[in-house]
Amino acid sequence: MKLFLGGARSGKSSRASEVAVEYGNVIYLATGVVTDAEMAERIERHREDRPDDWRTIEEETELGKVFRDLKDEGFTGAVILDCLGFWASNLMRKKREDTKGQEEEIAEAIRDDLSVAKGAGFEVLIVSNEVGMGVVPASSAGRKFRDTLGRVNQVVADLADEAYLMVAGLEVRLK
C-alpha cells in the first residue's frame, strides 16, 4: 500500500498513475461524486484521460466491499484509489451527524476497509490531499472536513508501506 499526499495540482494522481503502470493490470477506483456542472465536467474529463485498458470502478463509500470482491476474483495488479478526501467526505455526508466522535469513527471505518486489501495480492495506490498546510477554512463544515481528512491521512500513512508528499510535481519520500 502506497500513499501519495499533496495539494491541488501537486502531481499526486499523475505519480500514482505512473507507478500503477508498473503493475500491468490497473483498476481506477473513483470516489468522486457529481455535485454540480463543473464537477460533472471534471469527472468526465478524468474518465476520458484514463487509458482504455484500465478498468474503472466508481464507489462513494463501500470500498471494503470492492476490495473483498477484487480479492475474491484473484485480481493482481494495482488499484488507484482517487481520492481519499472524497471518500472521507462521502462518509461524512452519509452520516450527517454532528457528533464529536465522527472524526475517529470515519478514520476507523477507512482503516477497516483498507485493511481488507492488505495481503490481497494487489497493490493499492492511495491519492489524498494534504489539508494541514493551508489557510484555516472559514466555515465550520470546512474545518470539520480538514480535521477529519487530517486524521484519516495519519491513519492511512500508518497503514501504508510507503508514503510520498508531492510538491510541484516532485516526490518527497516520507516513509
Query: What would you report as the CA-atom Rg of the chain, rounded to the nearest whole angstrom?
Result: 15
Known catalytic residue at 46:
yes
pTM of the full predicted structure?
0.93
Instruction: Convert the pLDDT of each residue in 129-160 to its tens digit.
Output: 999 888 899 999 899 999 999 999 999 999 99
- Confidence at residue 98, expressed as pLDDT on a 0 to 100 scale: 53
pLDDT above 70 (res 102): yes
Element (H, E) at 141: helix 140-159
- Count Cβ atoms within 10 A of the Cβ of residue 53 and give its class: 0-12 exposed, 13-18 middle, 19 or more buried: exposed
Mean pLDDT to the nearest integer, 71-93: 96
Domains and CATH numbers, the chain: 2-173 (3.40.50.300)
pLDDT at 126: 98
| Whether residue 100 has pLDDT greater than 60 | no
Backbone angles phi, psi at 15, to 5 degrees: -65, -45
Mean pLDDT of the chain: 94
Q: Which residues contact 77 (CB under 8 A, 6 or more apart)?
A: 20, 23, 24, 25, 26, 27, 122, 123
Written as nine digits, the cell of 149 is 481528512
Does pLDDT of 97 surpass 70? no
For the segment 35-79, what is each residue's pLDDT rounded down to a tens digit? Answer: 899 988 988 988 888 999 999 999 999 999 999 999 999 999 999
Catalytic residue among 46, 55, 71, 95: 46
* pLDDT value of position 99: 52
Q: Are 48 and 54 in contact (CB under 8 A)?
A: no
State the pLDDT confidence band at 88, using cuts at 50, 70 and 90.
very high
